[in-house]
Amino acid sequence: MLVMGSLIAWAVGPGGGPVPVGAAPVIRADGVLEMLKPDGSVAATLAVEIAETPEARARGLMERVLSDFMAGMLFIFESAQTQTFWMRNTPGSLDMIFVDAGSRVLNIAAHTTPLSDQLYSSAGPAKYVVETKAGFCGRFGIQPGYSIRWKRL
């Protein structure tokens, strides 16, 4: 399956909810995702839009701009298998975090190449993929062996 990644916009309005940045649509804050260190402590927290249908996964974050490190997208697949993404029609770089069915980070495609058909794949069967602004993993020290914990809002 080939899923196209893209960028997202995120800003917080006076009431704490998302507001548009320029004319770009914002993500839906469907859930909260925590990146956990091996000792279980929280390395970073993201508001995430959840893409769990084939249509939502194919659409991804197209036509949106990520303005900070506090938002992303969580792709959920029916089963763990090799997942492959690309950056076609994506104007900015992302960090793609591939996660197995046990919620453990398998590998990271950091600073992906915008507007390219270069393929980025999981290093084993992945049930989840988290897309964040490029540099997120370096900024928060995210690496293989970390894990995720998430919940719907």
Q: What is the pLDDT of residues 14-61, one digit of tens each?
A: 333 333 344 455 788 999 999 999 999 999 999 999 999 999 998 887
pTM, 2 dp: 0.83
Phi, psi of 138 (to 5 degrees): -65, -40
d(C-alpha 32, C-alpha 49), whole Å = 9
Task: Give residue 102's pLDDT.
Answer: 98
What is the pLDDT averaged over residues 112-126?
A: 95
- State residue 22 phi and psi, 5-degree precision: 65, -135
User: What residues pair up with 113 in beta bridges, in sequence order?
Assistant: none
Q: How far apart are CA 6 and CA 86, in angstroms?
A: 9
Q: What is the pLDDT of residue 24?
A: 52
Tokens matching residue 139: 């900024």
Mean pLDDT of 110-129: 95
* Residue-level pLDDT at 27: 80
**H or E element that contains 55:** helix 54-59
Residues 62-92 have pLDDT tens digits of: 777 677 899 999 999 999 999 999 888 878 8
* Dihedral angle sign, alpha carbons of residues 49, 32, 112, 2: negative
Q: Quick one: pLDDT at residue 41?
A: 98
Q: Which of 116, 79, 146, 150 is nearest to 5 (CA)?
A: 116
Strand duo 94-99 + 42-51: pairing: unpaired
